[in-house]
Chain A
Amino acid sequence: MNWYEIWTELWPTLIAIGIILAVVPVVGLYATFVERKLAAAVQDRLGPNRVGPFGMFQAIADGIKIFLKEQIIPSHVHTFVYMLAPCISLMTAMFALVVLPYGPTPVNYDGGLRFVVMPGLDISLLIMFAISSLSAYGIILGGWASNNKYSLYGAIRSCAQFISYEIPMGLSVIGVILVAGSMNIETIVASQSSGDGISGWNLWWQPLALVIFFTSALAETNRLPFDLPECEQELVGGFHTEYGGIKFVLFFLAEYTHVVTVSFLTTLLFFGGWHFPGVPSEVTASYGILALQMLVLLVKVCGVVCFIMLLRWALPRFRFDQLMGLAWKGLIPLAMLNLVFLAVIESLEWHRWPLAVLSVVLFVAAGYWSAWQSQSFVRKASVA
């Protein structure tokens, strides 16, 4: 392998990495801006509107301010781990992005411009999950190093929450993998193509998996209604109580990166990626078509991001026992049942429509079960 070959291999990778590194922080900053605007709208306010047109530069002003802030390291913390934690947090968040195609990518990539750092990887989804489960590490380190009981509570909650929600998340995604027959994200996207560009989306065939996946993903990102590790009212901010300035921003950025990652995953796995009615489903070399497909993908992702933000202002926070109950008593059994029936149907090589029916039936059955449980279960007035 000569230098030229290495270079032809290398430059698309470098560009892809460069795009991620350049775009993600900006997206993180502007996500805060969008979130504030959205929150203001929901609460009948105007939101930031003083810096630049419509307050557009508010995010930049905040960024400058927070970067210029004094770096304070509390005297009681474990300095090294304290400094390391936000770095790990952001690093794992960004690292998860390496297998995510943020633009149309063919299944069989062979050189040239591309929109993913690691193309054509057969286990890309596995890598994705392996890395994103690391993000709990940063939070736990931060909470522990802060040497503060509230921060530690936040970290422990985070740990428990991550472990619990990893399970339904994985189980729900296995359905998608089984249907597509691959753990390669590009293949999964390709498997959702259809003539009309919309009927092939996994959304239609596995709505239950989508609900479970999305719920778990919210919990994994520490977003409301599952932001127990950082709830201000109970934990004075949780694991990041002792963090300020740029270190806090790193945690913050990691959270928003997670939101973006989750939105991408949801789009790619369930909303057909860059497939859309009227848009060619094959990934070709035509720049016009590529741009169109990319636009479709990004619009879908933005939609999901906005939905996550909207949820924050629509739903109240769970109590911790409710949070755990939902994962262990609701999502995990449901996801397992879904998986079993799905495996049966797949192995019989039936058409996909029974899958949709199965989802609805399971969901309704779970609802009935839950309601029946609630009605019949009478706790004795017991002694404390």
Chain B
Amino acid sequence: MSTAETPVTQVEKKQKKKTVQWGDDPKIGFVEALYLPAIAGGIATALKHAFFKKRSTAQYPEQKPEMPPNYRGVHRLNRDEEGRVKCVACYMCQTACPANCIEIIAAPAPQDDPKWANRDKFPATFTIDELRCIYCGMCEEACPVDAIELTSIYDLTGMSRQEMIFDKEKLLSVFDETSKAGLDPVRTNRGALGPASEKSLQSADSPPPPGRGKHG
């Protein structure tokens, strides 16, 4: 209450006083008043659980849980068919990231390397702070070329904060691990790279990728 009380608030206060009501204790019957049957009931429930119910503990390191397909775990950077990083350094994930955990430094693709001939831009560095990340999956949503994905790896641990800052190599190695093991097929599963990363997509005989509309 403020110090300057108007007469109106005082009146209100008086009226309010009567609005507080006691709740009566619940009425109890004879059996309840004896206490002992209720106690016996409690003990019976406890014993029933102790002896007749199935234990629901999962023996974790030996017994791995199965993650639902839409589980969002550690990130990975996908590779294209030629083994290059799929990412084109468009910064969409960094822009979309609500936790500011992605940092990309872009560079022109190496022009003298024939492997990179059909690419203009690529990420020179790609860093994700896995500790800062909130695993919302917005980067995955934002990516126009399906390069960044969240895997089903849930048991991410490390001995230092530095260790939990994943660079491009680490993120690519996550892809190698998960895709080799068949744990995480390309989840977004659009079947092809986006128009920015792949030239063959534009050829007339290849059908347009599903889910992207007819005309990229």
Contacts and interface: CB of A to CB of B under 8 A. Distances in A.
Query: Quick check: do A and B touch in the complex, using CB within 8 A?
Result: yes
A325 B59 CA distance: 45
A314 B38 CA distance: 10
Interface in B53-88: 53-57, 59
Interface string B96-109: 00000000000000
B17 A41 contact: no
Contact of B46 (A46, A314, A369, A383): A314
Given A46-B57, A383-B18, A384-B17, A370 B46 contact: no
A41 B45 CA distance: 12
Given A370-B28, A384-B17, A315 B22 contact: no
B22 A314 contact: no
A367 B24 contact: no
B49 A382 contact: no
Interface stretch (A131-139, A169-177, A373-381): A373-381
Given A42-B46, A314-B39, A384-B20, A371 B32 contact: yes
A313 B46 contact: yes
B28 A381 contact: no
A44 B30 contact: no
B33 A381 contact: no
B47 interface: yes
Nearest to A45: B57
Nearest to A309: B46
Contacts of B53: 44
B42 A371 contact: no
Interface residues of A, number: 30
Contacts of A246: none
Contacts of A42: 46-47, 49-50
Q: Which of B25, B29, B47, B50 has the most CB of A within 10 A?
A: B50
Interface string A311-333: 10111000000000000000000
B43 interface: yes
A41 B43 CA distance: 13
Contacts of B57: 40, 44-46
Contacts of A311: 39, 42-43
A38 interface: yes
Contacts of A369: 33
B33 A371 contact: yes
B22 A379 contact: yes
20 contacts: A41-B50, A42-B46, A42-B50, A43-B49, A44-B53, A46-B59, A310-B47, A311-B39, A314-B42, A314-B46, A315-B39, A315-B42, A369-B33, A371-B28, A375-B29, A378-B24, A382-B22, A383-B20, A384-B17, A384-B22
4 A-B pairs with least C-beta separation: A314-B42, A370-B33, A384-B20, A41-B50
Interface of A: 38, 40-46, 211, 310-311, 313-315, 363-364, 366-371, 374-375, 378-379, 381-384
